[in-house]
Structure 1
């Protein structure tokens, strides 16, 4: 179990570092419930994002984490659940 917390700010930073932002998309706006596709992030960009999250936070994400969690809000919640899970769970 980790004391780390994954925040929306972490997600925004990682999205920008890995794939940038589509023209006209303001990640500083209220994006919590926006679909990643609406924000301009498709499967390849999300794969890169997932890899960056795994490396930075030392976790392993399920292959389908982005298909099951289509918005920043649900993704942040899922990553925090992974971070707080007992080691080996």
Structure 2
């Protein structure tokens, strides 16, 4: 079974949306709200689409927007992977 990690999310954040030069994604970002990382709702939805294409995980837009932090987002993706038996 695959596990989606915070490092996987960091890579997806850089690839799908990019980063503001003032934001350090290498630090402990698990509990920092996406908005404080410079990711608005549109950026989170783009990130969600990237994760869906790359990992084959269906993430509902509403669910993605409720995941206020990267840690919450990673937990949801892993829950979805587990439920799908991957």
Asked if TM exceeds 0.5, the reply is: yes
Counterpart CA distance in 1 for 2:64 and 2:83 is: 19
Task: Give the SS at the match of 1:64.
Answer: helix
Unaligned runs of 5+ in 1: none
Which structure has the greater CA radius of gyration? Answer: 1
CA RMSD of aligned residues (A): 1.2
Shift of 1:23: 2.3
Aligned to 2:17: 19
Q: Which residue pairs with 2:76 in the alignment?
A: 78
| Segments of 4+ moved more than 2 angstroms | none
Q: What does residue range 4-83 of structure 1 map to in structure 2 within 5 Å?
A: 4-83=2-81
CA distance in 2, matches of 1:23, 1:59: 29
Q: Deviations over 1:2-38 (max 9, x none)?
A: x111000010000001111112100001111000000
State the alpha-carbon separation in 2 of the partners of residues 58 and 29 from structure 1. Answer: 27
Tell me the number of residue pairs that the alignment of Structure 1 and Structure 2 aligns: 85
Cα distance in 1 between the residues matched to 2:84 and 2:19: 34
Kept in 1: contact 2:17–2:43 (CA 8 A):
yes
Q: Which has the higher helix share?
A: 2
Give the CA deviation at 1:71. 0.4
